[in-house]
Amino acid sequence: MELSLNSGSNLPEEAAKHSSETIQYIVIRLGEEQYGIDIRSIDTITRMQHITRVPKMPNYLKGVINLRGVVIPVMSMRLRMNLAADEITKATRIIVVRLEQDGNVGFLVDEVREVVTLSMDDIEKISENSKDGKASLINGVGKHNGELISLFDLNAISLES
Amino acid sequence: MDVSQYLEIFLDETKEHLQNLNTRILELESDPENADTINEIFRAAHSLKGMAGTMGYKRMQNLTHDMENVFSEVRNGSIKVKPDMIDVLFQCLDALEEYTNNIQTSADEGTNDNEPLIKRLNDILGSAGSDGDTGEAEKKEEAPAVKSGTAEAAESNKWDKIALDSSQISVIQEAQNQGKNVYGINVLVHESCILKAARAFLVFKAVEEVSEIIVSDPSAQDVEDERFDRDFTLIVVADVELDKVIKAAENVSEIEKVTGAPLVLSNNKNINAGKESETGEPEVKAEKKAAQTAAPAAPAGKAGAKPAETKKPAASKPVVNRTVRVDIEKLDALMNLVSELIIAKNSLVSASSQGQAGTVNTSFNEQIEYLESVTTNLHESVMKVRMVPIESVVNKFPRMIRDLSKKLDKKMELYMSGEETELDRTVVDEIGDPLMHLLRNSADHGLESAEVRAQRGKPEVGSIFLDAYQDGNNVVIEVRDDGNGIDVEAVRNKAIERGTVTPEQAANMSDKDIIDLLFLPSFSTAKEVTDVSGRGVGLDVVKSKIESLSGEVEVKSKLGEGSVWTIRLPLTLAIIQALMVVVGDEKYAISLGSIQTLEDIPPSDIKLVQNKEVINLRGTVIPLIRLNEVLDVESRRDGDENLIVVIVKKGDRMAGLVIDELIGQQEIVIKSLGRYIKQCKFISGATILGDGEIALILDANALI
């Protein structure tokens, strides 16, 4: 697993002072873009494994996997975001996320990069009324070391379908 | 007063008593003179009152108290049972049930005083003549108490019989030397008291507030476990007067009598013979117990009353309870572990069969077979633990039908059979509402009014039957009535009128298809809306509920003769025997329960009927369903090869599922696909195979 903890621009003492205002994100890659998932809702990150197809499902729902005896649906984040279909590589991972209403769901992503800590000041909220269907799954953009990270709105992902 | 630890027992027992009362009052209605029934009702009401009182539920206590008064009059013969009295009694039971439900949800009985009910009860009492009657009844009530009181007095003081060991004696002596008061106290619990241990516990607590308990006979532990007959004896050291100690104990409700006196050690019969070893020896205790129970028996026997007191010593030892209450969640956890075990076993089986080409020795295979039989038995045992008879659900129906009979002004009778049929606990909890709907439906729509029935030459009283029985791996529950049956034409017209189907469609539909329309949401044919049924919510709810339990519901009906509603439920929910098949390159499981046969069909046997593929199998025309088409996969077989067809059956209907390859029979653990995936109707779940892969479970019922 290629996870590296990066304390980022927040110095430890600063983080302690504003601990309620910092959130840790796992940064993933889909194609050339970077996305962040709130680390508090992540259950497990697992390597690619055989996915059993379920018929009559939307194309982004790839099927189900067996995670330690529990059946978990897996969706392709690329297809969900209307990107090109997945290419399975050694770096491909399934991120299992706890969704409030729907239980655990796995997200198929190209690569898991790192963990970053963002303070509220680093995050720019995106307004709800964006018309782009893709953008509605994103509720903020984080700035980190000069790079931009789109932050997933997990509730929007779960409500859809 | 903390009684929360008894709340659960209280609720369980209250429900039992209420159910008992319901049944008995129904009996009483048909046989108003039956003395046994009246006595039984009286006892149940009395126990309820006592229990509610102890738990501090005053409103409940008041209501039951008044009910008890009425029963008491009935028992004395000063009131005759009349239909309107039965009605009031039933309303009282409903009110009590409401209290119970409130208590269950919030540990509080609520604020409804039910004054109108209490007033009506008192009116009934008033009609018996005068208040003098009630007084008399109360006197009668008191009489036995006095009797046993004298019985108590006839006996020498019990505390003088307690076998004391030397340390206890020295404590008593020391206390006396210090000028403290040492009392012997005997507490007699009321005969009808249900929670004796709870009562005793409260007495202990109350007494301990004013004094210090040195000796208890039986021991405090025994008393707490309810291992005592009706009384227990304490020796206490106190600074206060004897009266205060006795008052404290008497303040606990359902304590019939508290006697006490200063303890004089030299009176203790066991001290002179006082061998320390005596206390430890059970025989001595048993003898003593026998002596104690025999003593009150003698005077009581003279009075010729109270058979309860003439209990044999052997019977006074409470029978050890052979059942254990287990939280359903713990059973679920156990069930999950069994499931995991079966999955692990399956993977061992597949590992051994893969290695067969090599050097797998026979003893390894034997052990696997042994493991297989153990896991299967283990699974069955756990399933059995979760099974409960449907009795608890169907018991309330006779009462409901009686009420409906009054409300709808139709005469009807409910006949039940197979109440002992067992089902998984989770299913039993859910099955009540659908059954109630079907019964109401039969009572309201099914049965005709008495006049119509007379015209049609049927008996005036309509019959509704509720039969439950086990059929293979299913449990079948049938609701039958001898009423009018379903008017298919009326349903057809209604469907057209509502735009559910076009007139052309309706004309082409079979009667069965038309009847199935009844299960659609908001489709009700009742001409007027009553609060019994006819609001269009009902049958669709019944259907979806049953289906959520992996069951199915069917109806057969003959106009003028009645309808039969058949509910079919699987015996077990979590683990089933399944046939593993391959379609394309995917594995699927089909529940063995719905499979009839496996057939090898040459392509030339396939005929086309209405452009659909069918086969003629031993005289039956069966439609074919090509699973690869349904599942959107490429079949791996050539068109001219013979077809492997799995014949499945749902009720009367059959279908042939065309598959690519058979794997074999396997015990599978059903896992939910999760809430995220539920659109797919014909996939009922998933299972994990021995190699860790997931196979989907096909729901044959949804495919037919």
Distance CA A84, CA B30 (A): 77
Mean pLDDT confidence for B635-647: 86
Q: Do A103 and B675 touch (CB under 8 A)?
A: yes
Residue B68 falls in the annotated catalytic set: yes
Asked if the Cβ–Cβ distance from B674 to A73 is below 8 Å, we say yes
Cα(B99)–Cα(B58) distance, integer angstroms: 11
Q: Rounded to an integer, what distance in angstroms lies between the CA atom of residue B499 and that of residue B520?
A: 13
B284: tokens are 């001595």
- pLDDT value for A93: 93
User: With an 8 Å Cβ cutoff, are A52 and B694 in contact?
Assistant: yes
Any idea which of B56-60, B317-321, B550-554, B661-665 has the lowest mean pLDDT?
B317-321
- Chain A CB contacts of B692 under 8 Å are 66
Which residue in A52, A69, A103 is closest to B676 by CB distance?
Answer: A103
Q: Is the pLDDT of residue A134 over 70?
A: no
* Average pLDDT of span B321-328: 71
Whether pLDDT at B317 is above 50: no
Q: What residues in A contact B688, CB-CB < 8 Å? A: 66, 69, 71
Mean pLDDT of B414-423: 88
Q: Which amino acid is at B329?
A: E
**What's the Cα-to-Cα distance from B652 to each of B565, B597, B704, rounded to whole Å?**
14, 15, 11
Report how far residue A46's alpha carbon sits from residue A53's, in angstroms, rounded to the nearest whole number. 18
Structure token digits, residue B426: 């989770």
Q: Is A94 helix (H, G, I), strand (E, B) or coil?
A: strand
What stretches of B209-252 adopt beta strand conformation (E)? 211-217, 231-238
Assigned token pair, A1: 């697993």
How many Å lie between the alpha carbon of B586 and the closest alpha carbon of chain A?
8
Higher-confidence position of B291 and B404: B404
The verdict on a CB contact (< 8 Å) between A52 and B693 is yes
Question: How distant is the Cα of A50 from the closest Cα of chain B, in angstroms?
Answer: 7
Strands (E), chain A: 5-6, 22-30, 33-38, 42-47, 61-67, 70-76, 93-99, 103-109, 111-119, 123-125, 138-144, 147-152
* Residue range B62-74: mean pLDDT, rounded: 82
Q: What is the DSSP letter of B574?
A: S
SS (HEC) of B42-88 = HHHHHHHHHHHHHHCCHHHHHHHHHHHHHHHHHHHCCCCCCHHHHHH
Looking at chain A from residue 99 to 138, which residues have their Cβ under 8 Å from any Cβ of chain B? 99, 101-105
> CA-CA distance, B349 to B353, in Å (whole number)?
6
pLDDT at B530 exceeding the cut of 70 = no
The DSSP element (H or E) to which B665 belongs, if any, is strand B661-669
Q: Answer whether residue A48 shows pLDDT above 60.
A: yes
Residues B696 and B357: beta-carbon distance below 8 Å? no
Catalytic-role residue among B20, B69, B441, B484: B441
Residue-wise pLDDT for B554-604, tens only, equals 888 888 888 899 998 877 666 778 899 999 889 999 988 788 999 999 988
CATH number for the domain that contains residue A101? 2.40.50.180
Residues in chain B: 704
Would an 8 Å CB–CB cutoff place B333 in contact with chain A? no
A54–B677 C-beta distance less than 8 A = yes
The shortest CB-CB distance from B677 to any of A70, A73, A158 is to: A73
The percent of residues in chain B predicted with pLDDT above 70, rounded, is: 82
Quote the DSSP letter at residue B658.
E
Contacts of B381 (CB under 8 A, 6+ apart): none
The pLDDT confidence band at residue A42, using thresholds 50, 70 and 90, is very high
Per the model's pLDDT, the better-predicted residue between B155 and B34 turns out to be B34
Give per-residue pLDDT as tens, B480-525: 988 888 888 888 888 888 777 888 888 888 888 888 888 876 665 5
pLDDT recorded at residue B572? 65
What string of DSSP letters covers B383-435?
HHHTEEETHHHHTTHHHHHHHHHHHHT--EEEEEE-TT-EEEHHHHHHHHHHH
Q: State the pLDDT confidence band at B675, using cuts at 50, 70 and 90.
A: low
pLDDT at residue B148 greater than cutoff 80 = no
A65 and B676 in contact by Cβ < 8 A? no
Best residue in A46, A53, A62 for a mutation probing chain B (most B CBs within 10 Å): A53
Exposure class string for B391-417: b at 16+ Cβ within 10 A, else e: bebbbbbbbebbebbeebebebebebe
Q: Of B695 and A137, which is predicted with more confidence?
A: B695
Give the per-residue pLDDT at B141.
40
Q: Considering chain B, what is the average pLDDT of its residues?
A: 76
The answer to whether the CB atoms of B632 and A56 lie below 8 A apart is yes
Radius of gyration of chain A (CA): 16
**Tokens describing residue B105:** 């949800």
Q: Is B334 a residue whose pLDDT tops 50?
A: yes
pLDDT at res. B535: 43
Helix, strand or coil, per DSSP, at residue A148: strand
Query: Which residue shows structure tokens 């309620």?
Result: A20
With a cut of 70, say whether residue B79 has pLDDT above it: yes
What is the per-residue pLDDT for A4? 41
* Range with the poorest average pLDDT among A35-39, A52-56, B80-84, B133-137: B133-137
Q: B469: distance to nearest CA of chain A, Å?
A: 34
Tokens at B457, concatenated: 């030459």
Which pair of tokens denotes residue A27? Answer: 């940064």
Q: What is the pTM of this model?
A: 0.48
Between chain A and chain B, the number of residue pairs with CB atoms below 8 A apart is 66
Show the domain range for A90: 5-159
Confidence of residue B139 (pLDDT cuts 50, 70, 90): very low
Contact residues, chain A, for B671 at CB < 8 Å: 70-71
Question: Can you tell me the distance from the alpha carbon of B275 to that of B176, in angstroms, rounded to the nearest whole number?
Answer: 22
Q: pLDDT tier at B614 (50, 70, 90 boundaries)? A: very high
Amino acid at B58: K
pLDDT beyond 50 at B318: no
Selected catalytic residue, list B17, B46, B190, B437:
B46
- Rounded to two decimals, the ipTM of the complex is 0.77
H-helix or E-strand spanning residue B576: strand B575-583
Shortest alpha-carbon distance between residue A6 and chain B (Å): 33
pLDDT band for position B359 (cuts 50, 70, 90)? low
Q: Residue B218: is the preceding peptide bond cis (ω within 30°)?
A: yes
**Comparing A63 with B574, which gets the higher pLDDT?**
A63
Q: For residues B659 and B579, what is the distance between their CA atoms, to the nearest angstrom?
A: 12
Q: Which residues of A touch B633 (CB under 8 A)?
A: 55
| Residue B631 with chain A: CB contacts under 8 Å | 55
Domain count, chain A: 1
User: B89-93 long-range CB contacts below 8 Å, 24 or more apart?
Assistant: B89/B25, B90/B22, B90/B25, B90/B399, B90/B402, B90/B403, B91/B117, B92/B63, B92/B67, B92/B117, B92/B121, B93/B18, B93/B21, B93/B22, B93/B25
Q: Do B675 and A71 touch (CB under 8 A)?
A: no
In chain B the domains, ranked by start, together with CATH numbers, are 4-129 (1.20.120.160), 147-271+281-305 (3.30.70.1110), 340-385 (no CATH), 389-570 (3.30.565.10), 575-703 (2.40.50.180)
Partner-chain contact A69 B688, CB within 8 Å: yes
- Give A 50-69 residues with CB within 8 A of chain B: 50, 52-57, 61, 64-66, 69
* Nearest by Cα to B67 from B18, B10, B105: B18
Distances (CA, A) of B55 to A99, B100, B212, B344: 43, 12, 26, 50
- Asked if A10 and A62 touch (Cβ cutoff 8 Å), the reply is no
Q: Is B46 a catalytic residue?
A: yes
Q: How far is CA B653 from CA A82, B519, B594, B621, B702, in A?
A: 44, 18, 11, 10, 12
Are B343 and A104 an interchain contact pair (Cβ–Cβ within 8 Å)? Answer: no
Q: How near does any CA of chain B get to the CA of A118, in Å?
A: 30
Determine how many CB atoms are found less than 10 A away from the CB of residue B234: 28
Among the listed residues B17, B20, B22, B68, the single catalytic one is B68
Highest mean pLDDT pick, B135-139, B234-238, B427-431, B612-616? B612-616
pLDDT tier for residue B309 given thresholds of 50, 70 and 90 = very low
Question: What CA–CA distance (Å, rounded) separates A146 from B131?
Answer: 93
Q: Count how many Cα atoms sit within 13 Å of the Cα of residue A71 in the half-sphere of its side chain.
A: 24
